Amino acid sequence: MNAQTQFSGGFQNAPVEAAVAFRAAMTVMARPGVIRPLIGAQPPAPLSIAAGTLLLTLCDPDTNVHLAEGADTEAVRQWLTFHTGAPITAAAEADFAIGSWQALGPLDDYRIGTAEYPDRSATLIVECDALHPSGVELSGPGIRDTAFLSLPDVPAFQANAALYPLGCDFFFTCGDKVAALPRSTQVRTGG
Protein backbone atom coordinates (compact mmCIF):
# COMPACT_ATOMS: atom_id res chain seq x y z
CA MET A 1 0.00 0.00 0.00
CA ASN A 2 1.47 3.36 -0.89
CA ALA A 3 1.56 6.24 1.59
CA GLN A 4 -0.93 8.33 -0.38
CA THR A 5 -3.59 5.61 -0.14
CA GLN A 6 -2.94 4.98 3.56
CA PHE A 7 -3.38 8.65 4.47
CA SER A 8 -6.25 9.37 2.10
CA GLY A 9 -9.85 8.24 2.24
CA GLY A 10 -10.78 9.94 5.48
CA PHE A 11 -13.33 12.70 6.01
CA GLN A 12 -12.63 15.88 4.03
CA ASN A 13 -14.43 18.03 6.62
CA ALA A 14 -14.23 15.79 9.68
CA PRO A 15 -16.40 17.72 12.18
CA VAL A 16 -19.31 18.10 9.78
CA GLU A 17 -19.07 14.71 8.05
CA ALA A 18 -18.61 12.83 11.33
CA ALA A 19 -21.64 14.57 12.84
CA VAL A 20 -23.81 13.76 9.81
CA ALA A 21 -22.60 10.15 9.77
CA PHE A 22 -23.14 9.74 13.52
CA ARG A 23 -26.70 11.03 13.19
CA ALA A 24 -27.40 8.60 10.31
CA ALA A 25 -25.94 5.68 12.32
CA MET A 26 -28.00 6.52 15.40
CA THR A 27 -31.15 7.06 13.29
CA VAL A 28 -30.98 3.61 11.71
CA MET A 29 -30.21 1.98 15.08
CA ALA A 30 -33.21 3.77 16.64
CA ARG A 31 -35.47 2.90 13.68
CA PRO A 32 -34.78 -0.72 12.67
CA GLY A 33 -35.62 -1.43 9.04
CA VAL A 34 -34.88 2.12 7.85
CA ILE A 35 -32.16 2.32 5.20
CA ARG A 36 -30.19 5.56 4.98
CA PRO A 37 -27.34 6.85 2.86
CA LEU A 38 -24.01 6.99 4.68
CA ILE A 39 -21.10 8.66 2.94
CA GLY A 40 -17.90 10.50 3.77
CA ALA A 41 -15.11 7.93 3.79
CA GLN A 42 -13.31 6.38 0.86
CA PRO A 43 -11.92 3.22 2.48
CA PRO A 44 -9.71 0.72 0.72
CA ALA A 45 -11.29 -2.34 -0.86
CA PRO A 46 -13.04 -4.49 0.15
CA LEU A 47 -14.78 -2.08 2.57
CA SER A 48 -17.88 -0.28 1.35
CA ILE A 49 -18.24 3.48 1.66
CA ALA A 50 -20.90 3.02 4.37
CA ALA A 51 -18.78 0.55 6.37
CA GLY A 52 -15.71 2.76 6.18
CA THR A 53 -17.76 5.79 7.21
CA LEU A 54 -19.14 3.86 10.21
CA LEU A 55 -15.63 2.88 11.27
CA LEU A 56 -14.36 6.47 11.03
CA THR A 57 -17.38 7.70 12.97
CA LEU A 58 -17.59 5.12 15.76
CA CYS A 59 -14.00 4.01 16.34
CA ASP A 60 -11.12 5.59 18.25
CA PRO A 61 -8.00 4.41 20.12
CA ASP A 62 -10.20 2.94 22.89
CA THR A 63 -12.35 0.90 20.48
CA ASN A 64 -11.29 -2.66 19.67
CA VAL A 65 -12.05 -3.67 16.09
CA HIS A 66 -12.11 -7.19 14.68
CA LEU A 67 -11.56 -7.51 10.94
CA ALA A 68 -13.13 -10.77 9.77
CA GLU A 69 -11.62 -12.77 6.95
CA GLY A 70 -11.83 -10.84 3.69
CA ALA A 71 -11.88 -7.46 5.48
CA ASP A 72 -8.56 -8.20 7.18
CA THR A 73 -6.15 -6.84 4.59
CA GLU A 74 -2.97 -4.86 5.08
CA ALA A 75 -4.56 -1.88 3.32
CA VAL A 76 -7.60 -1.92 5.63
CA ARG A 77 -5.41 -2.37 8.74
CA GLN A 78 -3.20 0.59 7.83
CA TRP A 79 -6.14 2.80 6.84
CA LEU A 80 -8.10 2.03 10.01
CA THR A 81 -5.08 2.49 12.28
CA PHE A 82 -4.09 5.79 10.66
CA HIS A 83 -7.58 7.32 10.66
CA THR A 84 -8.93 6.04 13.99
CA GLY A 85 -6.07 4.60 16.04
CA ALA A 86 -8.39 1.68 16.87
CA PRO A 87 -6.58 -1.50 17.94
CA ILE A 88 -7.27 -4.55 15.79
CA THR A 89 -8.23 -7.52 17.97
CA ALA A 90 -9.68 -11.00 18.00
CA ALA A 91 -13.46 -11.42 17.87
CA ALA A 92 -13.73 -12.12 21.62
CA GLU A 93 -12.34 -8.67 22.52
CA ALA A 94 -14.09 -6.69 19.78
CA ASP A 95 -16.27 -3.66 20.38
CA PHE A 96 -16.90 -3.61 16.62
CA ALA A 97 -16.40 -6.34 14.05
CA ILE A 98 -16.65 -5.99 10.30
CA GLY A 99 -16.97 -8.43 7.44
CA SER A 100 -19.40 -10.49 5.42
CA TRP A 101 -22.01 -12.48 7.35
CA GLN A 102 -20.21 -15.76 6.64
CA ALA A 103 -16.84 -14.37 7.68
CA LEU A 104 -18.20 -12.90 10.93
CA GLY A 105 -19.76 -16.13 12.19
CA PRO A 106 -20.33 -17.71 14.58
CA LEU A 107 -21.97 -15.12 16.84
CA ASP A 108 -20.81 -17.09 19.90
CA ASP A 109 -17.35 -15.58 19.31
CA TYR A 110 -18.51 -12.07 20.34
CA ARG A 111 -19.23 -10.45 23.69
CA ILE A 112 -22.95 -10.16 24.50
CA GLY A 113 -22.58 -8.03 27.65
CA THR A 114 -23.30 -9.03 31.23
CA ALA A 115 -26.33 -8.62 33.49
CA GLU A 116 -24.56 -5.69 35.19
CA TYR A 117 -23.23 -4.18 31.94
CA PRO A 118 -25.37 -5.25 28.96
CA ASP A 119 -23.80 -2.41 26.92
CA ARG A 120 -20.43 -4.20 26.96
CA SER A 121 -21.28 -6.19 23.89
CA ALA A 122 -20.06 -6.23 20.32
CA THR A 123 -21.60 -4.40 17.40
CA LEU A 124 -21.17 -6.18 14.09
CA ILE A 125 -20.94 -4.31 10.79
CA VAL A 126 -22.19 -6.80 8.22
CA GLU A 127 -21.16 -6.08 4.63
CA CYS A 128 -24.03 -7.19 2.36
CA ASP A 129 -24.37 -7.73 -1.38
CA ALA A 130 -27.84 -6.14 -1.24
CA LEU A 131 -29.90 -4.22 1.29
CA HIS A 132 -33.67 -4.00 0.86
CA PRO A 133 -36.64 -2.91 3.00
CA SER A 134 -38.23 -6.31 2.38
CA GLY A 135 -37.86 -9.84 3.64
CA VAL A 136 -38.31 -10.59 7.32
CA GLU A 137 -40.73 -8.73 9.56
CA LEU A 138 -39.30 -6.60 12.37
CA SER A 139 -41.09 -5.33 15.45
CA GLY A 140 -40.10 -3.72 18.71
CA PRO A 141 -38.78 -0.39 19.96
CA GLY A 142 -38.49 2.27 17.24
CA ILE A 143 -40.94 0.51 14.89
CA ARG A 144 -44.49 1.85 14.69
CA ASP A 145 -46.20 -1.39 13.63
CA THR A 146 -43.81 -3.48 11.59
CA ALA A 147 -40.85 -2.92 9.33
CA PHE A 148 -39.09 -5.21 6.89
CA LEU A 149 -35.43 -5.81 6.14
CA SER A 150 -33.42 -8.29 4.09
CA LEU A 151 -31.37 -10.31 6.61
CA PRO A 152 -28.81 -13.02 5.90
CA ASP A 153 -29.70 -15.51 8.69
CA VAL A 154 -33.11 -15.25 10.38
CA PRO A 155 -32.56 -17.95 13.08
CA ALA A 156 -29.32 -16.28 14.23
CA PHE A 157 -31.06 -12.92 14.66
CA GLN A 158 -34.01 -14.54 16.44
CA ALA A 159 -31.62 -16.28 18.85
CA ASN A 160 -29.77 -13.01 19.43
CA ALA A 161 -33.03 -11.16 20.20
CA ALA A 162 -33.97 -13.90 22.70
CA LEU A 163 -30.90 -12.93 24.76
CA TYR A 164 -32.20 -9.38 25.32
CA PRO A 165 -31.09 -7.28 27.22
CA LEU A 166 -27.88 -9.09 26.28
CA GLY A 167 -26.81 -9.79 22.72
CA CYS A 168 -25.07 -8.11 19.82
CA ASP A 169 -26.24 -5.13 17.78
CA PHE A 170 -25.86 -5.03 14.00
CA PHE A 171 -25.28 -2.53 11.24
CA PHE A 172 -25.79 -3.72 7.65
CA THR A 173 -23.88 -1.91 4.92
CA CYS A 174 -24.04 -2.09 1.15
CA GLY A 175 -22.29 0.49 -1.00
CA ASP A 176 -23.28 3.84 0.47
CA LYS A 177 -26.32 2.56 2.41
CA VAL A 178 -26.75 1.49 6.04
CA ALA A 179 -29.47 -0.16 8.13
CA ALA A 180 -29.39 -1.54 11.66
CA LEU A 181 -30.84 -4.22 13.88
CA PRO A 182 -30.53 -3.67 17.62
CA ARG A 183 -30.78 -6.67 19.94
CA SER A 184 -34.21 -5.43 21.13
CA THR A 185 -35.80 -6.02 17.73
CA GLN A 186 -37.95 -9.11 17.22
CA VAL A 187 -37.48 -10.90 13.90
CA ARG A 188 -40.25 -12.98 12.27
CA THR A 189 -40.57 -14.64 8.92
CA GLY A 190 -43.75 -13.87 6.97
CA GLY A 191 -46.51 -16.33 7.22
pLDDT tens for each residue of 112-155: 999 999 999 999 999 999 999 999 999 999 999 999 999 999 99
Phi first, then psi: give them for residue 147, nearest 5 degrees.
Answer: -135, 170
Q: What is the pTM of this model?
A: 0.94
Model confidence pLDDT, tens digit, residues 29-81? 999 999 999 999 999 999 999 999 999 999 999 999 999 999 999 999 999 99
Query: What is the Cα–Cα distance from 97 to 121, expressed in whole angstroms?
Result: 11
The number of C-alpha atoms within 13 Å of 126 and in the hemisphere containing its C-beta is: 25
CB atoms within 10 A of CB 165: 12
Angstrom distance (rounded) from CA 30 to CA 24: 10
CATH no. for 13-185 = 3.40.50.11310
Asked whether the beta carbons of 67 and 76 are under 8 A apart, the reply is yes
The one-letter code for the residue type at 15 is P
Angle, vertex CA 122, rays to CA 178 and CA 75, nearest 5 = 65
